[in-house]
Chain A
Amino acid sequence: MDQVRAYLTSQLLGNLAALLVMPILVVGVIQRVKARWAGRKGPPLMQLGYDLWRLARKRSVLSTTTTAVFQLAPYVVLVTALGSACLVPLAGGPALASFRFDFVWFAYVWGLGRVALILGALDTGSAFEGMGASREATFSAILEPALFLAAGALSLASGERELSLLLVPQVAGGAALVVWAGALVALVIVVQVEAARMPIDDPTTHLELTMIHEVMVLDHSGRELAAVQWASAIKLYVGLSVLATLMHPRTPGLPGVALHLGLCLALAAALGLSESLIARLKLRTIPQYLVVALSAGAVALLAALAMAGRLGILR
């Protein structure tokens, strides 16, 4: 009974509250930092929440060329984003759910969302959306191994098989530090791509020809648009939570929650700051940037293998 109550209070309520509030707040922090840097006041921190509420009450406009795929896609994207959120500690404590090798599930839940988004984009028959879909598919194909390399390395080094546990940082010794740093670099780039942030994608641009993620949702409106935008925010927060979990030791109780949430907000501010200071990459050079993630992941895996004494093959 106590266990159930503990689960309810710490795991369920904490994670759910974080899931509701933090994605919107994180987007607000990024916008605020960019606005301040540009000399503007910026929108309210919870602006995305108002926007979602506004959109959710609007009717959607559908092109006659679209089918049910187009209407269904945003909800698949939303559900997959929520699905991925279940596996990651969102408020410092344990995750909502975890099971052996759940990082595979995590990767392919994101993959499923991406496929749904791509199909929805292709369903419009628009040249813009087709280009965006092609870019998204190309870049995520390059990026997918990076996620597995990083997760595999962390899993091997820590001996854990669950995402929420293998992310807990272990930096005792040189090899462990290499694993940690390599995985961190790989995951930072994975989050940048998955959340469609600079320097890969410019979420604020109005230029359809340069967009990747944004162009795929150009035709969505009303409730569907709200679903996609909410899903993007959730994915961003899930990504930041993965990074934050990797960056702080697990601390029980309220200090742990505060540490985690504070770190997530700091990461969001850092993201906003980086987006304020640099221009976007040329589309042609993005694959090179993604290869950095692959290499970092590979380095982490090699170090993890060395730690586990399984590098005999190299001797």
Chain B
Amino acid sequence: MLDFSGLELNTSEPVYLQIVGYVKRQIFTGAAEQGNPLPSRRELAAMLKINPNTVQKAVRLMEEEGFVTTPKNSVSILQWSSSVFSEIQKEMTAGFAADFVKHAKENGLTLEEVIHLLRQEWEKGEY
């Protein structure tokens, strides 16, 4: 079953989008596998202390975006095609870079400085 214990809800994004984003991240990083079942609506609602209808809203969106299917009378499972995977990949990487650039600009860094810092950090070999 897909593990949701790593999802800490914040209070700035809609809850259903946080759930969808979390699942995408699990797919992107390889933590989630094809065919993994999602917890039941009730379990997830209890775990996250949210309205079961919010879970439902998240599941519906994930179905629409094509990485969750819910067979009749059964639990929802993760299932994605390679094109959906590359969509998720694009979203995750572009979003990451956009956030990074935003923070760098807020701190008044130039592109040259950022590249220099990145290289320094990258070559530290600590990660």
Q: Do A and B come from one complex?
A: no
Query: Residues on B close to A: CB < 8 A?
Result: none
Query: Residues on A close to B: CB < 8 A?
Result: none
